[in-house]
Amino acid sequence: MIYLLISILSSTAIFVVFKLLKKFNINTLQAIVVNYFTACFCGYLLYNGEINPSEIITSNWFVAAIMLGFLFIAIFNVMALTAQKNGLSVASVASKMSVVIPIVFGIIVFNESVGIQKIIGILLALVAIYLTSLKPKSTVAVTKFIYLPIILFLGSGIIDTSINYFAPTGDIPLFSGTIFVIAATIGVLLLIVAYFKSNSRFNFKSIPLGIILGVVNYGSIHFLLMALHQENTESSTLFTINHIAILALSTLTGLLVFKEKISKKNWIGILLALIAIALVTLA
């Protein structure tokens, strides 16, 4: 459970860093690219064996790593567009509700347990995600750009499911590092395009927070995979706990650190999240 806890804390730290990027008016895409290079470095640094590019290319997970690298960049941009066109709450709900995909996948493909208590816990978790994600005075226009939250929902779910399914048990740092180096390469190409389109120059202020973001971003995936590979661990249980704990902790962090307002619905969502965690864990 310690691996899951570290993953949850790392994912919450990502939320804090994104808040700081906005506060200090730092280019998000530039920080994201620095983040991917840092996360890649962390993965290869933690790998105990010898890094052989030809072995990576011929590994049975390399194609999956390429796909995930593309998805990391693509879904990040879809998330940003969803927040702009449909509202922050819609983006948050769509990305977090995607936990349904890896849960169902785990139950069907891995034949994981499913009892009444676990089902109630998962349903409560979905209600908690919705209530906790609601923000006061959010601008919502779902109908006009309905395809954006749908893509975000499917993409986020596919990322979680693919990471769980394709990650090799013994080469987690190498697998994670390869995903991030592909994402970083695509990010550099996007920065080059941005430069020629709008003469957007690289701001070196993006580097420090980008590095911090990369460390916690890598930690969120690495330790989640470590938790998923523990004996007698079910992915449907872990993903449920992981998603709702991150959302609840991020909401509380917003209240305590950034003085954000939390509505009664948010508090009810946090309470339901705690109940859901207890039900799913004990199940």
| For the chain, domain boundaries | 2-282
The whole-angstrom separation of Cα 210 and Cα 195 is: 19
CB-CB neighbours of 213 under 10 Å = 26
Mean pLDDT for the stretch of residues 82-89: 72
Q: Average pLDDT, stretch 204-208?
A: 91
> What does the buried/exposed string (b/e) look like for 172-193 if buried means 16 or more CB atoms within 10 Å of the residue's CB?
bbbbbbbbbbbbbebbeeebee
Interval 21-44: pLDDT, tens: 888 888 888 998 999 999 999 999
On whether the CB atoms of residues 247 and 133 are closer than 8 A, the answer is yes
- State yes or no: pLDDT of 141 exceeds 60: no
Please tell me the pTM assigned to this model: 0.88
| pLDDT exceeds 70 at position 138 | no
Per the prediction, the chain carries an average pLDDT of 89
Tell me which amino acid residue 210 is.
G
Half-sphere CA count of 108, side-chain side, radius 13 A: 7
pLDDT at residue 88 tops 90: no
Using alpha carbons, select from 95, 169, 120 the residue that is nearest to residue 281. 120
Residue 125 has pLDDT above 90, yes or no: yes
Q: Is the pLDDT of residue 225 over 60?
A: yes
Per-residue pLDDT reduced to its tens digit, 255-276: 888 888 888 989 999 999 999 9
* 242-252 b/e (C-beta count within 10 Å ≥ 16 → b): bbbbbbbbbbb
Are 237 and 280 spatial neighbours (Cβ–Cβ below 8 Å)?
yes
Tokens of 165: 């399914």
- pLDDT class of 201 with cuts at 50, 70, 90: confident
pLDDT of residue 198: 82
Contacts of 142 (CB under 8 A, 6+ apart): 86, 90, 149
